[in-house]
Structure 1
Amino acid sequence: MSHTTNEYGQPIGEPLPDWQPRALPQPDVLEGRYCRLEPLSVAQHGEALFAAWALAEDGRDWTYLFAGPFHSKAEFMAYAQQMENSRDPLHFAVIDRESGRALGTLALMRIEPKHGVMEVGHVTFSPLLKQTRMATEAHFLLMRYAFDQLGYRRYEWKCDSLNAPSRRAAARLGFQYEGEFRQAIVYRGRTRDTSWFSIIDSEWPQVKQGFERWLAADNFSADGQQKHKLEALRQRP
């Protein structure tokens, strides 16, 4: 981190004379090429989400989350209503533009307008959404909203340090690993060390360019296979 020096010869952070607190994210619709994000609504999305998540073979997708798995529709709908009512976390449903169905959710959370910081979390993708162009684009749409529309300075990703798939996803999406918070959380009756990742505003243009290149139609073959990996396109000049 760059710094300057005060009148006492102490190193201090670079001044931000024009900084103003940023606006809170709103329950807006965010449109993409393959998917769109809609503010979570039980009435609009509840049935489709429950059906999509029910396609999973077992409950392993919920191991590192604070809620679920849900064994009845009533149990899930009650949880979804809590999600809909919340503004931090602010939950979005991921909608397949082709079918119009909700296939998963993710949220903006730990929102700090004063500092220009927010986190993506509660990422819960059904088997119909995992490892698809829509899944990658959903993350891109939220990042673009945070950096380009709202002008935030820092966008975070946190996960259980033992959640290897989440750690790999963070690295693939362009987050930089920052370290471990030991014994940070107690959940599900067990301890958790938390891994921290972030993207900051100075890194965003390169991260954004990688997403745009990867999501372009010409990066996919006729059968939908990627021609170039996201990491490679982000690093290419």
Structure 2
Amino acid sequence: MNDRPLGPLVPNWTPPPAPAPMTLEGRYCRLEPLDAEKHAALLFNAFQGHDAHYDYLPAGPFHSAAQYHRWVKDVTSDPGNLFFAVVDLRAGAYLGVLSYLRIAPEAGSIEVGNINFSSAMQRSPVSTEAIYLTIKWALDAGYRRFEWKCNALNAPSRRAAQRLGFSFEGVFRQALVVKGRNRDTAWFAIIDAEWPALKEAYRVWLDPANFDLQGQQRERLGDLTGLVRAASDPTL
């Protein structure tokens, strides 16, 4: 008997490419490489007056367009992240930001984060499709693991991760100090074996036929993804 078991072989493993600046477009939204000159003033206006959006983010709130512009310049110059601006195709307005981070092609792992969606974008097909487009690119490109992490106290983010099909993996205690406060970090992930079924769940939910004339959903995404998730968040 082998008392030192090893993980299964990963046949024909080739690390996927690191994401380069690109545009990802769906039915409801388009993700464009974040650019300070093009997007900063528009996004600052979209977020203005909603300082609570920054409670769990590493930076902000921003109290001037110039301050937000400097932040965009800083984060877009960091090669470890790839930031996107989200445009609502129906409204023709820039309403959100998110990024790839912790990009590790050699491990086949990548994370979505730095998510800040304006109030006009939240709880809409636009916000769901924005996340879907980032997952789709990564897992279709050959990544084996797509991560979502958040402050363990951020209940809306934990609910969103579960609704979107991410499986709960645990809490890292005292993982970070953010804005002078302790942060325990809740971990969620999707792995490549789950992607075909999750992709179908997204296809069904994002289909215009899933919404009535008042825009109300017929099928709930959380019900569709719940058939696939390996583990649920016990706090929800």
Taking a change above 3 Å as real, the CA distance of residues 55 and 190 of structure 1, as seen in their structure-2 partners, is: closer
Aligned partner of 1:39 in structure 2 is: 33
What aligned pairs does 1:177-196 form with structure 2 within 5 A after superposition?
177-196=168-187
1:115 aligns to what? 107
Among 61, 84, 99, the residue aligned to 2:76: 84
Shift of 1:236: 6.5
Within 1, Cα distance between the matches of 2:102 and 2:44?
A: 26
Partner of 2:65: 73
CA distance, structure 2, for counterparts of residue 143 and residue 170 of structure 1: 12
Give the partner amino acid of 1:113. P
Alignment of 1:34-183 (within 5 A): 34-56=28-50, 59-148=51-140, 150-183=141-174
Asked whether the equivalents of residues 210 and 235 of structure 1 are also in contact (C-alpha less than 8 Å), the reply is no
Alignment length, in residue pairs?
228
Structure 2 CA distance, aligned partners of 1:90 and 1:61?
20
The answer to whether the Cα contact below 8 Å between 1:183 and 1:193 also exists between their aligned partners in 2 is yes
* Alignment RMSD: 1.5
* Cα offset, 1:235, TM superposition: 4.9
Report what 1:200 is aligned to: 191
TM-score normalised to the size of structure 1? 0.92
SS in 1 for 2:217: coil
Unaligned 5+ runs, structure 2: 229-236
Contact between 1:55 and 1:126, CA under 8 Å: does it hold in 2? no
| 1:94–1:105 Cα contact (<8 Å) kept | yes
Q: Distance in 1 between matches of 2:49 and 2:182?
A: 29
Residue-by-residue CA offset, 1:62-117 (whole Å, 9 max, x unaligned): 11111000011111110011122233221001111123321010000000010100
| Percent sequence identity over aligned pairs | 46
CA displacement 1:198-217 (0-9 Å, x = unmatched): 00000111111111100001
Q: How far does the alpha carbon of each residue in 1:3-47 deviate from its partner, in whole angstroms, 9 at most, with x for none?
A: xx8xx5421100123111111011110010000100001122112
Residues 236, 197 of structure 1: alpha-carbon distance in 2 compared, 3 angstrom cutoff: closer
